[in-house]
């Protein structure tokens, strides 16, 4: 009996040792966002090196930030779920629909940044006391592989993909509803079929469009990029936010085109805001002042082909980005209507149309 | 009993714990599903019933559960027979191969299989080089999930069926042979009937594992094979659709409870126990038919390769450089320790590992430490109240992990008087709580067994000599049960180390445990480095778990014959890729230990 006792004593000692270091750790963990100066930033705009770039640049400017990345809708849900005990201090990159939702749920702390005069106020929070301010905007487009499809052959608008036989089974359709881009595409289609007496404000015709979108498309493959599939010739059409196009063209060696429907395309106006209940309000505000400034937004635009809202940053924006953007008109979407119904739409699509 | 302050405190804490963490969150789940605003609503039911996708995934889950119960039994019974019953060459080596699932399971195993057989996997790339036209996604969908889960969950068979078969009285076998029975008849008519209760138990466990499966369908199910638990996860993330998640979790819960009550009923029915006064140890049976013998040997070694191959590749590739991992090359001159250096030196790579170790250790110690007092009280003061409390402590055992996690999430995402008005969601505490909760039933049963086997006269002697309750507990009882308690803590630690199913609901975004990191590395368009990291995590996990297992069993087994040695039945380690909390079935604890029977 002696020997096993010894072994067990040893393992207990090891366990105790682990916990004692552990407790130190958890004590620090418990403070969460209160940790000396670390700002927790939630965003959906951290891929393709954006997160790393921002973290490094912010560190140089004296901000210690930690980035938590998630899809637009997922990040929104997370913020709402955590509203009674927020982890995040700042949220940026989501589009106005989500910010409106966050504001309704009382997740945001109103703040007017130093650079508020340099941006078009109509793109910010419509309320008088503004809780969120715009950083960049981008068109959500239907992209096609220009190496195999000429501009004439490409469809003129989204619905052609599933109504015209020549496009069926050649476009990529989504397999999850958590992404901001996806939800905007859906909003862009559904709001064309607004009918107040219809299910969730949409006519039957509208829902049938969605059904056909799902039944005629090629399912997306998790983490296989649309442009990679262009290169492989698996699909020829699919959704894409405009700022992601140049980088991907280069990465996968394809040329792409974008469809410019007459009705216009949905625009994502990506915003920034302070999260309510942060214990580092001042820090968070300073970070927003820095990040939204003409200088940093200009660098961001240079690095990641974005189209900044800050007028001062436009000078540093790549001319081809501006040119690309000029071919589109803004689709006229009633954002209040979208915001009210989006959660219901997503749920219905998840349950009934997603296969 | 109320005179001792220690008793009063323990009782208060116990009742509070049960009310706040076992009863209310799950009851609240019901309330939120059907009475979200105080009014009954059938919204969630209607929505789900009319959703083809939801019904399909329900069907898939039950399909998986039923087929898994069959396949796991087929493979499980076979490997137990070849390692314990038949005379097979190299049975010890075979046993080691099959036993790898003790230290390699759950999300880690699913990830490993994906890196090897998945669309970009090492083996797939190799095969595609030979057959360019092959379907690269061959290892995906129902077949892949079933295969992976089958080979990952035979652990229960090795444990429970293995020990049951060792207990078969050899005299009955000899008697049957003397009466002229063939080997096949003996197996079918003598051996298997005695194993019936254990077989029921492991069948139900396999069924439940399939029903609640999360990581394997997520990683390998692909588009066409979706099951319930991943759907629960999808809806749990959205605050407006949580009632759907709750309802799906309830369906799982009800199915689980139904299966367990069937099991208890079956157990009460006639079981064959050999109750020989002097049981003769089992001698391994030769297979006389030459053809059959060769066939059994062949199948046994093929299975061995299936078990060991992925693991071996993971270990080998953890020592290859990135280029070799991405191209699938395996040569000695690409050998490098760079993956290990990266994981152990980069804070971001090491952090999930540390987080997991801290969480698991804390949960293991809290559950064992707390229940030491509780178990003691339960044995000392028997009565209706205590038995009621004991039953309630088994709640986590009958509910799927996803449901427990969801209950905590929707109950404590706002200030609640039960926990002093604090909000628990978004803190690091909530996952720790869930870890403790899922470990309660197993810990309780094990500790109860340990306490029961303490010689009662020692305690009486202490009391006669005037020792107080606490003093007796501290100086007499605690030392006696400490070895068992430490062993239970160690097993809990092992079991939680690679948890994914609970953490995916509750983890703090900045302190993500290893399971989540490994899962993220399986998608994320994962960089080669991330894959290398996962290989290293796997090896490190196996080293840690293996060491713990050795400390608990390796050393104890050597003194197995000592009358006071208390063996703790093994616990499923790492799970299956399914519910991690289905630890021990009531009838499955037929361990030959000198510990008191578990009930």
CATH number at B494 reads: 1.10.3720.10
Chain A positions in Cβ-Cβ contact with residue B487 (cut-off 8 Å): 8
Q: Which domain, by its residues, includes B232?
A: 5-588
The distance of B414 to chain A (nearest Cα, Å) reads: 6
**Contact call for A15 and B361, based on CB within 8 A:** yes
A344 with A219, same domain: the answer is yes
- Least CA distance to B348: which residue of chain A? A66
What digits encode the pLDDT tens for the residues B21-64? Answer: 999 999 998 888 888 888 888 888 988 888 888 999 999 999 99
Q: Would residue A15 count as lying in a domain?
A: no
> Are residue A70 and residue A176 in the same domain, yes or no?
no
Does any domain span residue A169?
Answer: yes
CA-nearest residue of chain B to A76?
Answer: B238
Q: For residue A126, what is the domain's CATH number? A: 3.40.190.10
Confidence of residue B523 (pLDDT cuts 50, 70, 90): low
Q: Are B575 and B106 in contact (CB under 8 A)?
A: yes
Among partner residues A23, A222, A344, which is closest to B523 by beta-carbon distance? A222
Q: Report yes or no on B18 lying in a domain.
A: yes
- Residue contact A26–B358, C-beta within 8 A: yes
In a domain, B539, yes or no: yes
Distance, CA of B484 to CA of B375 (rounded, Å): 13
Q: pLDDT digit string (tens) for B550-576? A: 888 776 555 444 444 444 444 433 333
- A27 contact residues in B (CB cutoff 8 A): none
Q: Is the pLDDT of residue B539 over 80?
A: yes
Please tell me the distance in Å from B267's CA to the nearest CA on chain A.
35
Task: Please report the DSSP string for B349-361 in residue order.
Answer: HHHHHHHHHHHHH
Query: Is the domain of A43 the same as that of A147?
Result: no
Residue A160 forms part of a structural domain = yes
Write phi, then psi, for B78 (nearest 5 degrees).
-60, -50
Answer yes or no: do A243 and A275 share one domain.
Answer: no
Beta-bridge partner residues of A218: A172
- Minimal C-alpha gap between A81 and chain B (Å): 7
Shared domain check, A155 and A288: no
Whether residues A63 and A203 fall in one domain: no
Please check whether residue B597 lies inside any domain of the structure. no
- pLDDT attached to residue A19: 43
Residues in chain A with CB shorter than 8 Å from the CB of B531 are none
Cβ distance A18 to B551 less than 8 Å, yes or no, reads: no
CA-nearest residue to A178 within chain B is B234
Q: Which residues, numbered 301 to 340 in chain B, qualify as contacts with chain A under a Cβ-Cβ cut-off of 8 Å?
A: none
Both A174 and A292 in a single domain? no
Q: Are residues A171 and A86 part of one domain?
A: no
Domain count for chain A: 2
Q: What φ, ψ does residue B593 adopt, rounded to 5°?
A: -70, 165
Which position has the higher pLDDT, B590 or B510?
B510
**Chain A touched by B47 (CB under 8 Å):** yes
Contact B437, B404 (CB under 8 A): yes
Alpha-carbon distance of B552 to A270, in angstroms, equals 55
A144 found inside a domain: yes
| Structural domain that includes position A342 | 138-266+330-353
Cβ-defined contact of A223 to B525 (cutoff 8 Å): yes
Specify if B512 maps to a domain: yes
Domain-located, residue A8: no
B241 interaction partners in chain A (CB closer than 8 Å): 343, 346-347, 350
Q: Is residue B594 part of a domain?
A: no
* Chain-chain contact of B490 with A74 (C-beta, under 8 angstroms): no
CB atoms within 10 A of CB B24: 18
A195 and A340 both lie in a single domain: yes
Whether A127 is in a domain gets the answer yes
A107 and A83 in a common domain: yes
Which residues in chain B are closer than 8 Å to A19, comparing Cβ atoms? 358, 361-362, 365
Higher pLDDT, B224 or A130: A130
DSSP E strand stretches across chain A: 38-43, 64-69, 90-95, 108-109, 133-145, 172-173, 194-199, 202, 218-219, 237-241, 256-259, 267-275, 307-308
List pLDDT tens digits, range A121-135.
989 998 888 999 999
ipTM value for the complex: 0.74
Q: Which of B48, B357, B413 sits opposite A81 (nearest CB)?
A: B413
- Tally the domains of chain B: 1
Question: Residues A161, A262: one domain?
Answer: yes
**What residues of chain B, 221 to 260, have a C-beta less than 8 Å from chain A?**
223, 234-235, 237-241, 244
What is the chain B residue with the closest CA to A3? B555
Tell me: the pLDDT tens digits for A171-219?
A: 999 988 888 899 999 999 999 999 999 999 999 999 999 999 999 999 9
pLDDT of residue B526: 61
Assigned domain for B243 exists: yes
Instruction: Mark whether A260 and A176 lie in a shared domain.
Output: yes
A38: closest chain B residue by CA: B510
Chain A partners of B409 at a C-beta cutoff of 8 Å? 81
Note whether B511 contacts A29, CB cutoff 8 Å: yes
DSSP assignment string, A233-260: TS-SEEEEEGGGHHHHHHHHT--EEEE-
Q: Give the integer Cα–Cα distance in Å for B549 and B319.
A: 25
Q: How confident is the model at residue A264 (pLDDT cuts 50, 70, 90)?
A: very high
Mean pLDDT (chain A) is: 87
Nearest to B559 among A1, A219, A224 (CB): A1
Partner residue opposite B239 with nearest CB, options A3, A5, A81: A81
């Amino acid at each position: 009996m002696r020997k096993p006792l010894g072994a067990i004593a040893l393992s207990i000692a090891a366990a105790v040792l682990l916990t004692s270091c552990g407790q130190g750790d958890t004590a620090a963990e418990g403070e969460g966002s209160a940790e000396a100066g670390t700002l927790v930033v939630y965003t959906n705009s951290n891929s393709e090196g954006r997160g790393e770039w921002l973290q490094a640049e912010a560190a140089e400017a004296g901000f210690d930030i930690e980035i938590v990345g998630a899809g637009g809708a997922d990040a929104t849900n997370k913020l709402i779920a955590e509203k009674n005990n927020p982890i995040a201090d700042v949220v940026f990159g989501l589009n106005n629909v989500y910010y409106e939702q966050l504001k309704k749920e009382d997740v945001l702390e109103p703040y007017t940044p130093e650079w508020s005069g340099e941006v078009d106020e109509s793109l910010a929070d419509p309320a008088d006391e503004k809780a969120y301010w715009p950083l960049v905007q981008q068109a959500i487009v239907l992209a096609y592989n220009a190496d195999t499809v000429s501009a004439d052959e490409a469809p003129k608008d989204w619905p052609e993909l599933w109504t015209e036989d020549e496009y069926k089974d050649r476009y990529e359709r989504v397999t999850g509803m958590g992404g901001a881009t996806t939800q905007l595409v859906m909003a862009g289609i559904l709001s064309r079929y607004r009918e107040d007496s219809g299910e969730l404000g949409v006519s039957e015709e509208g829902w049938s469009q969605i059904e056909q979108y799902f039944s005629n498309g090629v399912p997306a493959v998790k983490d296989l990029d649309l442009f990679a599939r262009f290169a492989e010739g698996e699909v020829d059409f699919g959704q894409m936010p405009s700022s992601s196009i140049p980088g991907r063209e280069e990465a996968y060696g394809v040329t792409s085109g974008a469809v410019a429907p007459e009705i216009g395309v949905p625009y994502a106006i990506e915003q920034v805001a302070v999260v309510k209940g942060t214990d580092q309000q001042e820090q968070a505000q300073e970070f927003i002042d820095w990040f939204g400034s003409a200088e940093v937004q200009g660098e961001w635009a240079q690095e990641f082909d974005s189209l900044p809202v800050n007028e001062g940053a436009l000078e540093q924006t790549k001319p081809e980005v501006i040119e690309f953007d000029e071919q589109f008109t803004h689709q006229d979407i009633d954002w209040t209507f979208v915001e009210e119904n989006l959660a219901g739409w997503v749920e219905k699509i998840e349950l009934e149309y997603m296969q | 009993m109320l005179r001792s302050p220690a008793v009063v405190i323990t009782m208060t804490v116990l009742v509070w714990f049960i009310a706040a963490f076992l009863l209310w969150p799950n009851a609240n789940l019901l309330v939120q599903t059907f009475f979200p605003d105080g009014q009954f609503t059938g919204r969630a039911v209607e929505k789900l019933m009319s959703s083809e996708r939801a019904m399909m995934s329900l069907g898939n889950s039950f399909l998986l559960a039923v087929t898994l119960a069959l396949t796991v039994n087929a493979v499980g019974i076979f490997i137990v027979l070849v390692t314990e019953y038949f005379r097979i060459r190299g049975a010890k080596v075979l046993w080691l191969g099959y036993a790898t699932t003790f230290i390699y399971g759950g999300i880690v195993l699913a990830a490993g299989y994906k890196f090897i057989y998945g669309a970009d996997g090492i083996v797939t790339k190799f095969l595609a080089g030979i057959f360019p036209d092959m379907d690269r996604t061959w290892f995906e969908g129902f077949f892949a999930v079933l295969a992976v889960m089958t080979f990952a969950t035979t652990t229960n068979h090795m444990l429970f069926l293995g020990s049951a078969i060792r207990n078969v009285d050899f005299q009955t076998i000899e008697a049957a042979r003397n009466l002229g029975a063939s080997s096949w008849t003996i197996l079918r008519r003598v051996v298997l009937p005695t194993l019936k209760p254990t077989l029921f138990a492991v069948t139900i466990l396999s069924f439940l594992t399939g029903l609640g499966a999360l990581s394997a369908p997520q990683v390998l199910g692909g588009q066409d094979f979706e099951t319930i638990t991943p759907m629960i996860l999808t809806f749990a993330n959205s605050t407006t659709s949580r009632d759907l998640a709750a309802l799906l979790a309830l369906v799982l819960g009800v199915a689980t409870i139904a299966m367990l009550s069937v099991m208890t009923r079956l157990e009460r029915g006639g079981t064959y126990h050999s109750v020989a006064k002097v049981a003769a140890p089992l001698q391994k049976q030769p297979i006389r038919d030459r053809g059959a013998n060769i066939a059994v040997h062949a199948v046994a070694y093929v299975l061995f390769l299936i078990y060991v191959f992925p693991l071996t590749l993971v270990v080998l590739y953890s020592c290859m450089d990135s280029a070799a991992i991405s191209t699938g090359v395996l040569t000695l001159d690409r050998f490098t320790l760079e993956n290990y250096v990266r994981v152990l030196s980069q804070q971001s790579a090491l952090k999930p590992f540390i987080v997991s170790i801290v969480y698991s250790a804390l949960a293991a110690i809290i559950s064992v430490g707390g229940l030491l007092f509780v178990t003691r009280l339960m044995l000392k003061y028997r009565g209706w109240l205590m038995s009621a409390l004991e039953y309630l402590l088994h709640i986590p055992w009958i509910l799927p992990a996803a449901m427990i996690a969801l209950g905590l999430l929707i109950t404590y995402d706002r200030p609640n008087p039960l926990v002093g008005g604090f909000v628990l969601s978004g803190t690091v505490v909530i996952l720790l709580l869930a870890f403790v909760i899922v470990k309660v039933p197993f810990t309780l049963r094990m500790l109860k067994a340990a306490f029961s086997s303490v010689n009662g006269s020692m305690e009486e002697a202490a009391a006669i000599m005037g020792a107080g309750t606490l003093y007796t507990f501290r100086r007499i009882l605690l030392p006696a049960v400490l070895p068992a308690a430490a062993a239970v803590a160690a097993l809990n630690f092992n079991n939680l180390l690679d948890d994914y199913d609970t953490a995916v609901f509750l983890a703090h975004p900045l302190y993500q445990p290893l399971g989540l990191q490994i899962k993220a590395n399986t998608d994320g368009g994962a960089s080669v480095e991330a894959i290398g990291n996962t290989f290293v995590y796997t090896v490190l996990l196996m080293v840690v778990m293996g060491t713990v297992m050795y400390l608990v069993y390796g050393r104890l087994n050597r003194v197995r014959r000592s009358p006071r040695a208390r063996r703790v039945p093994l616990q499923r380690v790492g799970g299956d890729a399914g519910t991690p909390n289905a630890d021990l079935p009531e009838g499955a604890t037929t361990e030959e230990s000198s510990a008191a029977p578990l009930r």
